[in-house]
Amino acid sequence: MFDEEVYRKLFVEESRENHENIVNNLLALESGEDQQTAIDEIFRSAHTLKGMAASMGFDAMEHLCHSMEDVFSLIRNGGLEVSPSLTDLLLTCTDVIEGMLDAIEAGENPSDEQSGPLVQELMAFAEEGSPVEDLIPPSPTSPPEPPREPSREVGGSPVYRMKVAVDPTSTMKDVRAMLLLQNLEDIGKIRSTTPSRDKIEDGIFDGTFEVVVESDAGEDALRTIASGTELSLLALSPLESYLAAESMDAHEPVETPESPRAPAPQVQKTARPEKIREIKNIRVDIERLDRMMNLVEDLVINRGRLEQIAKKHGIKEFDEALSMIGRSVSDLQNLMMGIRMMPLERIFNRFPRVVRDVANHDGKEVEFIVEGGETELDRSMMDGLSDPLLHIIRNAVNHGIETPEARKAAGKPVKGLVRLTARRDKDNVIINVEDDGAGIDPEKLRKKAVEKGFLTPEAAASATKDELIALLFEPGFSTSDVINDISGRGVGLDVVKKTIESLKGTIKVESEPGRGTKFELVLPPTMAIIDVMMVRINGRRCAIPVSNVVEVAHAKPEAIHRIGNSDAILLRDQTLPLYRLEDMFGRAEKGDTLIVLQNDGRRCCIVVDYVDGQQEVVVKPLSRIAGYCRGISGVTIPGDGDVVPVLDVNTMI
């Protein structure tokens, strides 16, 4: 009936939205928030999912959603109470739905292997509840039902007896019959029906029924109405005697008024000039956006090339045209960046469920607060950010928040608090995950650092709290051997850090024993196009993000001192570590220009031959063949076609 692939994507996308809506509202229901809204929302989403799944022919999913809808229909009408076991079951259902959506996205048709037993369980719950009619509660403002009798009195009009059959395949034959009666009332007055109208409208008839109707509209109009969808007219005959018998109660005959649906407005309607329609929103495939972004990047690169050519030739007209192009390209680029931004909600929405599950598993009580979900980030970063955040949040509940008993003993509220916040700084997006749990004990870290050989006993003894906490991000620092509250903090945190760094972000931890822990992630809102300073080191070009550059200075040899294994420079009463980047670029014969770099409040210097200028470039990630190169965040291709590495200052300092 339709090209399935065309719909599959749309189906998956909208189903995921509805799936998420169910999960979040189940959690809201459990937390005792606005119950009615949550129930209505779940019902609506389950209903929507059912309808879409049925349209796609995914029977297993349709049945599961249908059962969920049935249960919520009962809950909504007060026929069933929401119990913890029911919530668990429903959440399991959402997990299965998610799995089904994954399968559908991969082009499969999900089986009912997992959903079958769940449907049984849901049905058992539904049977427990008392059946209540599935009705939309009438809103208080809705007007009273219009009277069944037509307002005008029909008198002296011809009366007809008609026999009508409803197609046996009709899904709702009662509604079909009801529509027919309603339509007849629009053009006349129903005198009687066999069986009674109530019975017909309740579907208690064998497929055919008789109507005696009084109407001026004529036989043809009656015929049209009676041969509507799923209807067939078996017989139609004028009934003179009926009129004679009943005409006594007909009062003064009214001039036959036109039927409410007179043809006049119809004509007017078709004659009305077509209004120009405006489509205000469209959905675009992410892949197409990515392709567009690549094209914009190519434009930026080629603009750079053109600028270099222009410089060589100095043609005034060419320069003017180029500056116009330059502006357009910048505008286009900004626009594209904006289009690619997505609210963080897209990934935040799945976390409440995670918190609930981990807390339930550990027997903890946790309140999870999410703020700033509307903060936007480039979508290319969204995917990468999801797992690290998930990890940190899971850890916060699993290892940060104490058991209710421990919290009570410590004089804290029994319910722990995990807060996920996002906000936009001047240049960055800042995401915090805070908990009011046990915090990280530096003494335990100190002990562990020595045990694991990360620090010598002497170094450990003199290590500051920040230095000790920094160890958490070292690969292999934490293992599964459990030392109560801090044990898991280090699990995978090195991977988290690496991922955040690959997104050009930084991660920081602050912790106060007994008070809690705070992870701070600072990310650039977008990473594809940045302003860089081009420098030469040992004759080779290198790009440094301008946001990391504090100043450019002249290096006086007498200011450089050797401290231990490394160099440092005294610059305006400040001692800064000095790097020559020899391992990356080879030893430079002469280099007397200093670039002072800064990241997250910390500074260092590098020595370069000279500064080549500043320009906007597109940073392309290193290919998988090159792998991860510490110190290099990617490469860029300036106008002349050269491939230039971009320095990753975050990992240098």
Partner 1 sequence: MGRILIVDDTMFMRTLLKNILFSGGHDIVGEAADGAEAVAKYQELKPDLVTMDIVMPKVNGIEALKAIRATDPSAKVIMCTAVGQEQMVKLAVKSGAKGYIVKPFQAPKVLEEVKNVLSA
Q: Which residues are catalytic?
A: 47, 69, 395
Radius of gyration of the chain (CA): 36
Residue at token pair 């007017």: 268
Closest separation in Å from C-beta 319 to partner 1:
47
Instruction: Indicate the residue type of 8.
Output: R
Q: Does 625 bind partner 1 (CB under 8 A)?
A: no
Tell me which stretch binds partner 1 (CB under 8 A): 97-105, 142-150, 390-398, 472-480.
142-150
Question: Any contact of residue 271 with partner 1 (CB under 8 A)?
Answer: no
| Cβ-contact 162, 236 below 8 angstroms | yes
Query: Is residue 204 at the binding interface for partner 1, with CB under 8 A as the rule?
Result: no
Could you give the 3-state DSSP secondary structure of residue 119? helix
- Closest distance of CB 253 from partner 1, Å: 24
Please tell me the number of Cα atoms within 13 Å of 186 on its side-chain side: 14
Stretch 153-172: interaction string toward partner 1, x if CB under 8 A: ------------------xx
Burial of residue 355 (CB within 10 Å: 0-12, 13-18, 19+) is buried
Within positions 322 to 351, which residues make up the interface with partner 1, using CB under 8 A?
A: none
- Compute the distance between CA of residue 97 and CA of residue 141 in angstroms, rounded to an integer: 37
- Min CB(98)–partner 1 separation in Å: 17
Measured distance CA(602)–CA(576) in Å, rounded: 9
Q: Which amino acid is at 328?
A: S
Q: Which stretch binds partner 1 (CB under 8 A): 82-90, 208-216, 265-273, 352-360?
A: 265-273
* Binding of partner 1 by 151 (CB under 8 A): no
In three-state secondary structure terms, 550 is strand
Dist CA 542 CA 289 (whole Å): 29
Our CB check for partner 1 shows the closer of 105 and 357 to be 105
Query: Binder to partner 1 among 22, 26, 27, 52 (CB under 8 A)?
Result: 52
Count Cβ atoms below 10 Å from residue 282 Cβ, excluding itself.
Answer: 5
What is the CA angle 560-561-564, rounded to 5?
A: 140
Of the candidate spans 64-72, 81-89, 486-494, 589-597, the one that interacts with partner 1 by CB under 8 A turns out to be 64-72
| Cα(553)–Cα(302) distance, integer angstroms | 31
β-strands 366-371, 593-599 pairing: unpaired
By CB under 8 A, residue 652 contacts partner 1? no
SS3 assignment for 633-650 = EEEECCCCCCCEEEECHH
Query: Binding of partner 1 at residue 7 (CB under 8 A)?
Result: yes
- Our CB check for partner 1 shows the closer of 265 and 453 to be 265
The smaller minimum CB distance to partner 1, of residues 151 and 623, is found at 151
Q: Exactly one of 102, 235, 258, 261 binds partner 1 (CB under 8 A); which one?
A: 261
Can residue 590 be called a binding residue for partner 1 (CB under 8 A)?
A: no
Q: Is 210 in the site for partner 1 (CB under 8 A)?
A: no
Measure the CA–CA gap between 467 and 71, rounded to whole angstroms: 55
* Segment interacting with partner 1, rule: CB under 8 A, options 130-138, 332-340, 581-589, 607-615: 130-138
Are 294 and 380 spatial neighbours (Cβ–Cβ below 8 Å)? no
Helices and strands (H, E) in the chain, number of each type: 22, 22
Smallest distance, partner 1 to C-beta of residue 157, A: 20
Query: Which member of 140, 248, 275, 590 binds partner 1 (CB under 8 A)?
Result: 275
Closest distance between partner 1 and the C-beta of residue 106, in Å? 18
The one among 103, 165, 179, 306 contacting partner 1 by CB under 8 A:
179
Q: How many residues bind partner 1 (CB under 8 A)?
A: 54
Residues 6+ apart with CB under 8 A from 365: 359, 404, 414, 415, 416
Give the sheet arrangement for strand 416-424, strand by strand. Answer: 366-371, 416-424, 429-435, 516-523, 506-512
Q: What is the dihedral of CA 17, 18, 23, 25, to 10 degrees?
A: 110
Q: Is 277 in the site for partner 1 (CB under 8 A)?
A: yes
Single out the segment in contact with partner 1 by CB under 8 A; choices: 113-121, 131-139, 315-323, 395-403: 131-139
Q: Specify the stretch interacting with partner 1 by CB under 8 A; choose among 132-140, 354-362, 481-489, 490-498.
A: 132-140
Cα(575)–Cα(591) distance, integer angstroms: 19
Could you tell me the smallest distance in angstroms from the CB atom of residue 31 to partner 1? 21
According to CB under 8 A, which one of 44, 161, 346, 508 is a site residue for partner 1? 44
The reply on whether position 43 binds partner 1 by CB under 8 A is yes
Task: Count Cβ atoms within 10 A of the Cβ of residue 240 and give its class: 0-12 exposed, 13-18 middle, 19 or more buried.
Answer: exposed
Footprint on residues 67-96 left by partner 1 (CB under 8 A): 69-70
* Residue 50 in contact with partner 1, rule: CB under 8 A: yes
Within a 10 A sphere around the Cβ of 487, how many other Cβ atoms? Answer: 17
Whether residue 650 contacts residue 501, with contact meaning beta carbons closer than 8 Å, is answered with yes
* Residue indicated by tokens 């680029």: 333
By the rule CB under 8 A, 456 interacts with partner 1: no
Q: Which of 106, 142, 198, 271 binds partner 1 (CB under 8 A)?
A: 142
| Closer of 37 and 83 to partner 1 (Cβ) | 37
What is the Cα–Cα distance from 547 to 425, expressed in whole angstroms? 14
* Measured distance CA(577)–CA(566) in Å, rounded: 8
Residue labelled with tokens 């980047």: 581
Please tell me whether residue 218 binds partner 1 under the rule CB under 8 A: no
Which residue in the set 106, 113, 139, 458 belongs to the binding site for partner 1 (CB under 8 A)? 139
Interface with partner 1 in residues 219-258 (CB under 8 A): 224-225, 228-229
Stretch that binds partner 1, among 5-13, 335-343, 481-489, 641-649 (CB under 8 A): 5-13
Closest CA to 608 of 630, 629, 631, 585: 585
The residue ranges that bind partner 1 (CB under 8 A) are: 1-2, 6-7, 10-11, 14-15, 18, 41, 43-44, 47-48, 50-52, 54-55, 57, 66, 69-70, 133-136, 139, 142-143, 145-146, 171-172, 174-175, 178-179, 182-183, 201, 224-225, 228-229, 260-261, 265, 269, 272, 274-275, 277, 283
